Every structure is written in structure tokens, then in C-alpha cells.
Amino acid sequence: MSTDISTAVGTEDRIEDGTEDRTPSERPQQPERPGRSAPAAPPAVPPVARRTPRVAGLLLGLLTKTAAIAVLLLLWELAPRFDLVDRTFLPPFSDVLDAWFGLLDNGQLASNTQASLTRSLTGFGLSVVIGVPLGLLIGWYRPLATLLSPLLELFRNTAALALLPVFVLVLGIGETSKISIVLYACVWPILLNTVSAVRSVDPTLLRLARSLDLSAPRLFQKVIVPASVPVIFTGIRLAGAVSILVLVAAEMVGAKAGLGYLINASQYNFAIPQMYAGIVTISVIGVAFNQLLVALERRFTAWRAPHDR
């Protein structure tokens, strides 16, 4: 009975203030109680807006990396023009660029670059094939390391260029001596870094692998080689730089082609812009080769955490 009375009173009140005859859309909205409102959906971010910060970050990183080189080239261009240096011995960079395109047009740059890359990559590839397996063996088998340690210490401290006359006398002035000197110079960084990488493998990983009764080949495949790859690639990158530097020096002695020969011949003929064009070409090749090795290192060490790189 009390329920009917309260219902009737509520109905009369709604009739008096006119809310009974209004449609649901015309009725005044009652404020929702705090704590019960549904969370508002975040505004959708368009794909272009998500991509913009990433592109801006890439551009900023590119500008940061190239700023120092741009300043160097600007100084190189302006210093000879304002007589800060003798332009006879240091021509403006624009003159060097014109000489570079001239060498490219007459085919000298392509032929000499091909000769140098063939020698350098051959010696470098042979050093990787020899240095990495030998370093794994020496690093893993202590008796072998003890036996070869005095010999390794002797040759690692003998500069490759100091042995260049020996290579020329024994192997002649042909391609064999130049590839051999590159091989000799490159094998030591790879070999020594590989030995160090094997010896620095975490002992906990080795004990865990042995507890799983892994055979020696599986132990090498699953534990030692993956753990050693970062340090091995450090040696490979060092060898990549050495392969170009040593080859250029070797090509300046008794060579008939190559970037080292081009630089040396340009100096003797007093073709200074062509000499600098050869030097710039060597620098660009060195940077490109190093970036290629960095990309390969990232490919083979993709399992590592980002903060470990």
C-alpha cells in the first residue's frame, strides 16, 4: 500500500513539472554519479602522426652524423680560396671533385678501384677463413695455446709493412705478394680476438651445457660460437680497416694498378687533385666496408638484448 502511494506521488510530481510527457531525448540529462562513468576512448592517432616522430628522429640522427663531415668539407673548400693554405698543395674540394669525375669518365678510377678491391677482399676473406677456426681451436685447447703462444707473440708484434720487402722478394711483385701481405696483416686481429672471445665465455654457460651432456660439436655450435660472435666481429672489423690501409701501402711499391698506385703516380706527376681524389675514394670505400661489417654483425647478433650492443 505504501509503495502505491509513493508511486502515485512520484507520478504526480513528474506530471507537474512536465517530464512525464517528454520523450527520452527531451528529458534533462541527470549528472552521472562520480566513479561510474565509462572511461573515454583515447583519440585515434593517424598513421602519419605516428610515423612523423620516427622520420624526424632518423633525419636528426643523419644530420648529427654528417655535420662534422660537412664542416670539414666546407673548411676544405674555403681555406684554399681565402689563401689560408697554398692551393697548389691543397686544392679546393670542388677541384678534387672535378678530378674525381674526370678519373671516372676516362676509366682510371674504375680499373684501379677494381684492382684494389680484388686484392683487399681476397686477402681479407682468406684471413677470416683461416683466423676464425684457428682462433677457436687455440682458445679452446689449452695445450695448443701453450705450444703456439711464443710464435704468436713473435709475429703479432712484427709489423706487416716491415715484412713487405720479404714478401716481394719471395713471392715477386705480382698479385700473390700483395694478397699475402693483406692476409698476414688481417689474420692477427681476427685470430687474437677469436682466442680472447673463446676464453671469455661465461663459465656458467659451459657448466650448464655440460650438465646437459652436450657433445663437443654441439657445445661449440650452441654455446661457444654464439657467445663469441660479438668479440670475433670486433676483430673482423679491425681487419677490414687494416686490409685497405696495408694494401694501399703495398700498391705504392712495384704495382701497375690500384688506388695506391694511382695516388703514388699522381704525386710523381704533380697531379694533386687526382691524388686527393684517390685518397677520398679510399676513405669512402673504408667507411662503406665498415658499415657492411656492422650490418652483418647486427644480423648475426640479433639475439642480444639492445642494451648489450
Residue 21 has pLDDT above 60, yes or no: no
Helix 272-300 × helix 259-268 angle, to 10°: 160
The confidence score (pLDDT) of residue 50 equals 56
Residue 10 has pLDDT above 80, yes or no: no
**Phi, psi torsion values for 204, nearest 5 degrees:** -65, -40
The confidence score (pLDDT) of residue 13 equals 47
All residues at 6 or more sequence positions from 290 whose CB lies less than 8 Å from its CB, including other chains: 237, 240, 241
35-54 burial by CB neighbour count: b if 16+ within 10 A, else e? eeeeeeeeeeeeeeeeeeee
For range 14-22, the mean pLDDT: 45
The confidence score (pLDDT) of residue 46 equals 55
The confidence score (pLDDT) of residue 6 equals 44
Residue 240 has pLDDT above 50, yes or no: yes
Residue 200 has pLDDT above 80, yes or no: yes
- Asked whether 186 and 123 are in contact (CB, 8 A), the reply is yes
- Asked whether 184 and 239 are in contact (CB, 8 A), the reply is no
CA distance 80 to 26: 83
pLDDT category of residue 42 using cuts at 50, 70 and 90: low
Q: Amino acid identity of 46? A: P
- Say which residue, 99 or 160, is predicted with more confidence: 99
80: left (phi over 0), alpha (psi -120 to 50) or beta: alpha
Residue 204 has pLDDT above 50, yes or no: yes
Residue 58 has pLDDT above 80, yes or no: no
Give the three cell numbers for residue 178.
700483395
- Asked whether 301 and 309 are in contact (CB, 8 A), the reply is yes
Residue 123 has pLDDT above 90, yes or no: yes
The confidence score (pLDDT) of residue 51 equals 61
Residue 44 has pLDDT above 80, yes or no: no
What's the pLDDT tens digit per position in 69-97? 889 999 999 999 998 888 889 999 999 99
Q: Amino acid identity of 61? A: G
3-state secondary structure of 278: helix
- Asked whether 228 and 191 are in contact (CB, 8 A), the reply is no
Give the three cell numbers for residue 108.
682510371
279-309 burial by CB neighbour count: b if 16+ within 10 A, else e? bbbbeebbeebeeebeeebeeeeeeeeeeee
The confidence score (pLDDT) of residue 193 equals 93
- Asked whether 169 and 226 are in contact (CB, 8 A), the reply is no
3-state secondary structure of 87: coil
What percentage of the chain has pLDDT greater than the value 90? 36
CA distance 125 to 116: 14
- Say which residue, 25 or 73, is predicted with more confidence: 73
Residue 209 has pLDDT above 90, yes or no: no
pLDDT category of residue 126 using cuts at 50, 70 and 90: very high
Mean pLDDT score of the chain = 80
- Say which residue, 109 or 173, is predicted with more confidence: 109
pTM score, whole prediction: 0.75
What's the pLDDT tens digit per position in 141-179? 888 888 888 888 888 888 888 888 888 888 888 888 889
CA distance 242 to 245: 5
